[in-house]
C-alpha cells in the first residue's frame, strides 16, 4: 500500500551526475508498494543508495501519521486510534523489513555503514511513538472504557502493555534518560553483530597442504580449496567458521594440531584484542540493560523480559535450567569417559579436550552402532531434501503445494523462489530459500518475512528460510549433514507459522508471538525429518537414486539419543550465561566478561572443559545482538511443548491431514492473536507435560 505521504515525494534526492550536473530525479522503488506477486520486493531494482532516503521518508511519514492520531480533536475510538496506528508506518515497515533481512543475508560495507547510522535513529523514532504522552492518553482512555472481544480485545490489551513497558508512564526527565539508553543500546547491538560477522570472516582457517586435511571427506576438501581460490589463496585450503563454538571439520580431521588450532580460534573470537573485540561492548550492553530495567521498575533485565513471555518469571526459568543441568552434565561426563576410553584404546596418549570430542564421538558412535555420520551425507542432497522431504511432509500434513518461480527477482543468485498454494489452488504465500554460506551472510539459520499477512491491510506472506550449508564447487552436489537436514525442517516450521497466519492486525501476524513460544511450532516440524514415510521419500543416494538402506535407517534411529549429554550441556551452558548476564542489578555488572563467564559456569557445575558453551559471551549474537536477551532458554522451554505435541500427533495417527489441519487451525494460523498456552491447550487438549522431553533427551529430573 502506498504511504499517505509518499505520493508527493516519489523521487530520491539528486546525486552528482558527472562533475557539475545534478542527476535527474530517479524513482526510488522502495517508495511505492511492489507490483510483483504477493508484493515481493523488486530486488533487481533496489540499490544500496535507495535505503537511506526511504528510511528518512518512512520515519517522517509515520510520525506525521502518529501526530495526526494523537492531535485529533475527536474523542478516541478503536478505529481512529488503534486501527489507525496499525495502518501507520507502511513505507517504514516495508523498507525496514527488506533492509534488515538483507543486512543479515547479503550485506556489504555500504549497508553495514547505513545500518550503524540508522540504529540510533530508528530507536529514537520508536521512542517518539511509544513515549508520546498524548497518544498514550488516548490508548489509556480506550483501555479504561472499552469492552471488546476476540482479536480487537487483544489488540487493545497488547498495545496498552507495549506502551507501559516502553516507559509511557515515566516522567519526562526519566523518558529523556530512557531515550538516550535505547539509542546507545541500538548502536552497540549493531556493532556487536557486525564485529561477529567480520571476525568470522577474518579468522577463517588457512591450511597449507591437503595432507593436513586427512580424514575430511573429499567434497569438503574440494569446498575448502574453492573457498581458498575465492580469497586469492589458490593452492591452499580455507575452512570458514560458523558462529557456534564447535566447528564441523572437528568431526573428521585426524590432525589433532589442526583441530586444536580451529577450536582455539573459534573459542577466542571477539575477545583477544583488535578492532573486532566485543568485551567492552558486552559490559556496556549489560550495564545499560540493567539500568534501563531498574528505571522501568524491574530488578534486572531478565525480570523485565520474562514478564512478557509465557514463562513469566525468572524463578520459573531458573528452576527449569537447574532441574535439567545436573542430569545433562552427568550424561556429558559419562559420554566423555567413553571417548577417553576410545582414546586410550588407540594409545592416543592424551586427555580428551573439546577439540577431540566430535571426532571421537563419531568413533564411539561407529563402534557402538556400526554407524558413521559420514555414511548419511550421500543420501541428503539438498534439493531432494527440500522438495522430497520438507515440501513432501508439508503437502501430506497440510495439503499445500509448491511450484518454483524462476521469473521473479532475487537478491542473490543462490536464492530460489517458490509459490505456495492451498490444496484447492488458491494462492497462499511466496517462499524464498537461501541455502548456502557466504562471507556476506551471518552465521546460523533463520526465517524472516518480507511481507507479513494481514486481513486489515490485505497482504499475504512472503517468507524466507536461510541456512549456512557449505556451497560445493560448481557442478558438485550439495550434500548435507543430518544436523543440517534437521535444521532445514526446523526453519521451515517457522516458515509455516508465517505462511499460515490468518489474523486481522499486523501486530499479531505469523511469528509475532512471545520469544519462548516462537520456537515451538518449528521444533514440532522437526519430527518429519525421521518420519518413515518422509525419510523414505527424500533420503536417496545422490548418484544412484537408491533409498537409504534399511539397515542404515535403523542405525540412525538407534543412535538418535547418542551424544545428547553433550548437546544438552552445551545448549544449557549458553542459556545459563544468557540468564546470568541479564539477572544482574546495575552495581553488579562485572569488569571482565570472561572471568564472569567462567565463574558462572563453574558455580552452576558447567565447568566441564570438553563441552564449552554453544556460544561464548563475546560471540553470543542471540543475546547481545538479536532478540533473545534473557530468552535463550526459549529453545528448551519450547521443546517441552514440542515433545508433548509430537507425542500427541504420534498417538493420534501421525502424518494425517486431520492432524495437520487441526495444528494449523488451532495454532499456526493464530499468530499472536490469542494466548499462546491457550493455543497449545486448544491443540492437545491438556496442559504441557515435561515427561516427553525427558524421554526424548534421555534425561531424568533430580527431585
**6-169 with 377-558: one CATH topology?**
yes
- pLDDT-derived band at 219 (thresholds 50, 70, 90) equals confident
What's the pLDDT tens digit per position in 545-580? 999 999 999 998 888 889 999 999 999 999 999 999
pLDDT given for residue 26 in this prediction:
63
What's the pLDDT tens digit per position in 373-422? 889 999 999 999 999 999 999 999 999 999 999 999 999 999 999 999 99
pLDDT given for residue 10 in this prediction:
30
Catalytic site residue 691?
Answer: no
- Residue 411 Cα to chain centre, angstroms: 20
Look at residues 359, 355, 374, 373 and name the one whose alpha carbon lies nearest to residue 218.
374
Q: What is the largest CA-CA distance in the chain?
A: 84
Rounded mean pLDDT of 295-315?
97
pLDDT given for residue 701 in this prediction:
44
pLDDT given for residue 7 in this prediction:
31
What's the pLDDT tens digit per position in 75-106? 999 999 999 999 999 999 999 999 999 999 99
Least confident of 14-23, 245-254, 522-531, 540-549: 14-23
C-alpha to C-alpha distance for 366 and 469, rounded to whole angstroms: 24
What's the pLDDT tens digit per position in 499-540? 999 999 999 999 999 999 999 999 999 999 999 999 999 999
Residue 412 contacts residue 422 (beta carbons within 8 Å): no
Look at residues 484, 462, 478, 452 and name the one whose alpha carbon lies nearest to residue 410.
462
What's the pLDDT tens digit per position in 421-458? 999 999 999 999 999 999 999 988 999 999 999 999 99
Element at 228 (helix H, strand E): helix 218-230
- Could you identify the residue written with the cell 512478557? 308
Domain-wise residue ranges, the chain: 6-169, 203-267, 377-558
Look at residues 429, 406, 434 and name the one whose alpha carbon lies nearest to residue 419.
429
- pLDDT-derived band at 246 (thresholds 50, 70, 90) equals very high
pTM given for the model: 0.89
Rounded mean pLDDT of 462-470?
96
Q: Does domain 377-558 have CATH number 1.10.540.10?
A: no
**pLDDT of 595 strictly over 60:** yes
pLDDT given for residue 374 in this prediction:
85
What angle do the packed helices 515-525 and 482-499 form, to 10 degrees? 120
Rounded mean pLDDT of 271-292?
97
Query: What average pLDDT is seen over the chain?
Result: 93
Residue 666 DSSP code: I
The 3-class SS string of 355-366 reads: HHHHHHHHHHHH
pLDDT given for residue 703 in this prediction:
39
- Residue 149 Cα to chain centre, angstroms: 33
Look at residues 442, 500, 443, 490 and name the one whose alpha carbon lies nearest to residue 465.
490
Output the nine-digit C-alpha cell for 471.
Answer: 556451497
pLDDT given for residue 25 in this prediction:
53
pLDDT given for residue 496 in this prediction:
98
**pLDDT of 13 strictly over 70:** no
**pLDDT of 686 strictly over 50:** yes
Pick the CATH number of 6-169 from 1.10.10.410, 3.30.460.80, 3.40.1010.20, 1.10.1370.40: 1.10.1370.40
Strand partners of residue 469:
436
What is the percentage of the chain residues whose pLDDT exceeds 70?
Answer: 96
Residue 182 contacts residue 123 (beta carbons within 8 Å): yes
Dihedral sign computed on CA atoms, order 100, 101, 104, 108? negative
* Catalytic hit among 86, 484, 491, 526: 491
C-alpha to C-alpha distance for 285 and 269, rounded to whole angstroms: 18
Least confident of 17-26, 160-169, 178-187, 408-417: 17-26
pLDDT given for residue 308 in this prediction:
93
Output the nine-digit C-alpha cell for 640.
Answer: 517441552
pLDDT given for residue 4 in this prediction:
31
Output the nine-digit C-alpha cell for 457.
Answer: 491491510
What is the percentage of the chain residues whose pLDDT exceeds 90?
Answer: 90
pLDDT given for residue 24 in this prediction:
42
- Return the half-sphere exposure (C-beta side, CA atoms, 13 A cut-off) of residue 529: 25
**pLDDT of 462 strictly over 50:** yes
Amino acid at each position: 500500500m502506498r504511504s499517505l505521504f509518499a505520493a508527493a515525494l516519489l523521487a530520491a534526492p539528486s546525486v552528482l551526475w558527472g562533475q557539475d550536473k545534478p542527476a535527474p530525479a530517479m524513482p526510488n522503488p522502495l517508495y511505492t508498494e511492489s507490483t510483483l506477486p504477493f508484493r515481493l520486493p523488486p530486488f533487481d531494482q533496489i540499490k544500496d543508495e535507495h535505503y537511506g532516503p526511504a528510511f528518512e521518508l518512512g520515519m517522517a511519514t509515520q510520525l506525521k501519521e502518529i501526530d495526526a492520531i494523537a492531535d485529533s480533536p475527536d474523542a478516541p475510538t478503536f478505529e481512529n486510534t488503534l486501527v489507525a496506528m496499525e495502518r501507520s508506518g507502511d513505507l517504514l515497515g516495508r523498507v525496514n523489513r527488506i533492509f534488515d533481512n538483507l543486512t543479515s543475508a547479503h550485506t556489504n560495507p555500504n549497508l553495514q555503514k547505513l545500518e550503524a547510522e540508522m540504529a540510533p535513529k530508528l530507536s529514537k523514532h520508536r521512542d517518539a511513538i511509544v513515549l508520546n504522552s498524548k497518544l498514550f492518553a488516548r490508548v489509556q482512555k480506550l483501555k479504561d472504557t472499552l469492552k471488546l472481544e476476540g482479536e480487537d480485545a487483544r489488540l487493545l490489551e497488547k498495545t496498552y502493555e507495549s506502551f507501559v513497558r516502553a516507559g509511557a508512564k515515566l516522567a519526562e526527565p526519566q523518558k529523556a534518560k530512557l531515550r538516550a539508553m535505547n539509542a546507545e543500546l541500538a548502536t552497540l547491538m549493531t556493532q556487536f553483530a557486525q564485529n561477529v560477522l567480520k571476525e568470522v570472516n577474518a579468522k577463517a582457517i588457512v591450511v597449507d597442504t591437503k595432507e593436513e586435511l586427512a580424514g575430511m571427506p573429499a567434497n569438503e576438501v574440494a569446498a575448502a580449496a574453492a573457498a581458498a581460490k575465492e580469497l586469492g589463496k589458490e593452492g591452499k585450503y580455507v575452512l570458514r567458521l560458523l558462529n557456534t563454538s564447535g566447528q564441523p571439520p572437528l568431526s573428521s580431521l585426524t590432525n589433532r594440531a589442526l583441530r586444536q588450532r580451529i577450536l582455539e580460534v573459534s573459542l577466542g573470537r571477539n575477545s583477544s584484542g583488535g578492532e573486532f573485540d566485543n568485551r567492552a561492548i558486552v559490559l556496556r550492553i549489560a550495564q545499560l540493560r540493567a539500568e534501563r530495567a531498574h528505571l522501568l521498575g524491574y530488578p534486572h533485565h531478565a525480570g523485565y523480559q520474562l514478564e512478557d513471555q509465557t514463562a513469566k518469571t525468572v524463578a520459573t526459568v531458573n528452576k527449569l535450567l537447574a532441574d535439567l543441568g545436573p542430569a545433562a552434565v552427568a550424561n556429558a561426563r559419562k559420554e566423555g569417559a567413553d571417548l577417553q576410553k576410545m582414546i586410550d584404546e588407540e594409545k592416543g596418549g592424551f586427555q580428551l579436550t573439546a577439540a577431540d570430542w566430535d571426532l571421537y564421538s563419531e568413533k564411539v558412535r561407529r563402534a557402538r552402532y556400526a554407524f558413521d555420520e559420514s555414511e548419511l551425507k550421500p543420501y541428503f542432497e539438498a534439493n531432494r531434501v527440500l522438495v522430497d522431504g520438507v515440501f513432501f511432509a508439508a503437502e501430506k500434513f497440510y495439503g499445500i503445494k509448491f511450484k518454483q518461480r524462476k521469473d521473479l527477482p532475487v537478491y542473490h543468485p543462490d536464492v530460489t523462489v517458490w509459490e505456495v498454494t492451498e490444496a484447492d489452488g488458491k494462492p497462499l504465500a511466496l517462499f524464498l530459500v537461501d541455502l548456502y554460506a557466504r562471507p556476506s551472510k551471518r552465521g546460523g539459520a533463520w526465517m524472516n518475512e518480507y511481507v507479513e499477512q494481514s486481513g486489515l491491510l490485505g497482504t499475504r506472506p512472503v517468507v524466507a528460510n536461510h541456512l549456512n550449508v557449505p556451497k560445493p564447487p560448481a557442478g558438485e552436489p550439495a550434500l548435507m549433514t543430518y544436523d543440517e537436514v534437521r535444521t532445514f525442517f526446523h526453519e521451515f516450521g517457522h516458515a509455516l507459522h508465517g505462511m499460515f497466519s490468518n489474523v486481522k492486525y499486523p501486530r499479531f501476524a505469523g511469528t509475532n508471538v512471545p520469544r519462548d513460544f516462537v520456537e515451538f511450532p518449528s521444533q514440532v516440524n522437526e519430527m518429519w525429518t525421521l518420519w518413515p514415510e518422509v525419510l523414505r521419500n527424500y533420503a536417496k543416494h545422490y548418484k544412484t537414486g537408491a533409498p537409504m538402506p534399511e539397515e542404515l535407517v535403523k542405525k540412525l534411529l538407534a543412535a538418535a539419543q547418542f551424544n545428547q549429554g553433550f548437546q544438552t550441556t552445551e545448549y544449557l551452558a549458553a542459556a545459563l550465561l544468557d540468564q546470568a548476564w541479564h539477572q544482574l542489578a546495575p552495581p553488579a555488572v562485572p569488569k571482565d566478561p570472561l572471568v564472569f563467564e567462567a565463574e558462572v559456569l563453574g558455580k552452576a557445575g558447567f565447568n566441564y572443559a570438553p563441552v564449552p558453551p554453544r556460544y561464548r559471551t563475546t560471540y553470543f549474537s542471540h543475546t547481545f545482538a538479536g532478540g533473545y536477551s534473557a530468552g535463550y532458554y526459549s529453545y528448551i522451554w519450547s521443546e517441552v511443548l514440542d515433545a508433548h505435541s509430537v507425542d500427541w500427533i504420534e498417538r493420534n495417527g501421525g502424518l494425517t491431514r486431520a492432524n495437520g489441519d487441526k495444528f494449523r487451525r488451532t495454532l499456526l494460523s493464530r499468530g499472536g492473536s490469542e494466548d499462546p498456552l491457550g493455543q497449545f491447550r486448544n491443540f492437545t487438549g491438556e496442559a504441557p507435560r515435561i515427561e516427553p522431553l525427558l524421554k526424548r533427551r534421555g534425561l531424568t529430573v533430580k527431585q
